[in-house]
Amino acid sequence: MGELHLGFEIAALVVLCAILVADLLIVIKRPHLPSMKECAGWIGFYVGLALVFAVVLFFVGGSKPSSEFLTGWLLEYSLSIDNLFVFILIMAKFGVPRKYQQEALMVGIIIALIARGLFILAGAVIIEHFVGVFYIFGLFLLYTAWKQAFGDDDDDSESPVMRLVRRFIPVSEEYDGNKLRTVVDGKKLFTPMLLVFITLGVTDVMFALDSIPAIFGVTRNPFLVFTANIFALMGLRQLYFLLGGMLDRLAYLKYGIAAILGFIGVKLVIHAIHEAPLGFVPGFDVLQRIPEVPIWLSLGFIVVAMGVAIAASLVVAGRREGETITRD
């Protein structure tokens, strides 16, 4: 056990793609601002679906692919929460009507999935031919963890990609419902919705530069990496509306994400030490005595890091609100 049949992988991807397409069609046909109850229901559905998929993997391939998928999914889900902060800024910057934000998020997520799929294939090929790339992945994640915890916030000015799009593609100043094209003074133009789609997709791809190397530290199976990404992004749209008003209260979330990135970075470096030993380094054999990090420890660390970060954030936010009410 442990190997997954190609037929099962193809069937699973077809079903997941069908679910994504159905979700997109629902959003397009009935644009609306979802209620908290609706968001919670959909998130519960997608989380339940991911857990069912993990159980199916257990019976099809055994405990190894099941545990790797579960850990990878939690890792990607945790890291994707960081995307929500940027998504809120993008929606505000482009003034997207709340009614049409679901569609914008869904299309942006699909663009991101396609790009992530290409990243995953490229990563799998590189790892297959150069396992020493785990040193690079690990050090990059350690740098990213430091920047996440102690770096300055990124500038939210218009990106070079957006300036290039505006230069070569005529874009109207106003939205026309959820349409991608409109007519202004007899001239056909794209609406700002096009810029929103591109910005959301490109932004998520930038985040994938961190998350894809991180999940390869959990599993080297491209199918598990991609399905973990699909399930992590599936519920991201509803999570955006459910937690949108709470994200400013999660002040310590970035430290939890930084801790996870740092942990996976160390795990990748240790894995590289075992898989691609640097014999020319004096005393390197001593480092090879360090045991590899097991999946169960990675899973536990992700859950604890996110739990502590969220709990600490809510406690501190509650105290500050209480102090404000007392002063008033």
- The count of other CB atoms within 10 Å of the CB of residue 322 is 10
The answer to whether 273 touches 287, Cβ cutoff 8 Å, is yes
Q: Where do runs of H (alpha helix) occur along the chain? A: 6-29, 36-61, 63-94, 101-129, 133-150, 160-168, 192-216, 222-234, 236-243, 253-275, 284-287, 295-327
Q: What is the pTM of this model?
A: 0.78
Q: What is the C-alpha separation between 268 and 44, in angstroms, rounded?
A: 32
Report pLDDT for 225.
Answer: 92
50 has pLDDT over 70: yes
Q: What is the C-alpha separation between 193 and 33, in angstroms, rounded?
A: 17
Q: Distance from CA of residue 235 to its chain's centroid?
A: 10
113 has pLDDT over 60: yes
Q: Render pLDDT for 56-72 as a digit per residue (tens, 0 to 9).
A: 999 999 999 999 999 99
- The count of other CB atoms within 10 Å of the CB of residue 23 is 19
* Residue, of 31 and 309, whose pLDDT is higher: 309
Using alpha carbons, list the distances in angstroms from residue 143 to 29, 155, 271, 285. 43, 19, 18, 25
Report pLDDT for 152.
Answer: 62
273 has pLDDT over 60: yes
Q: What is the C-alpha separation between 84 and 96, in angstroms, rounded?
A: 15
Report pLDDT for 233.
Answer: 82
Q: Render pLDDT for 114-168 as a digit per residue (tens, 0 to 9).
A: 888 888 888 888 888 888 888 988 888 898 888 888 876 554 455 565 666 677 7
Q: Render pLDDT for 176-234 as a digit per residue (tens, 0 to 9).
A: 877 788 888 778 888 888 888 888 777 777 767 777 888 888 888 999 999 998 898 88
Q: Render pLDDT for 26-48 as a digit per residue (tens, 0 to 9).
A: 777 777 777 878 888 888 999 99
R_g of the chain, CA atoms, integer Å: 21
**Residue 101: which residues within 8 A CB-CB, separation 6 or more?**
33, 91, 240, 241
Q: What is the C-alpha separation between 108 and 239, in angstroms, rounded?
A: 15
Q: Which one-letter amino acid corresponds to residue 187? A: K
Percent of the chain with pLDDT over 90: 15
Confidence band of 247 (pLDDT split at 50, 70, 90): low
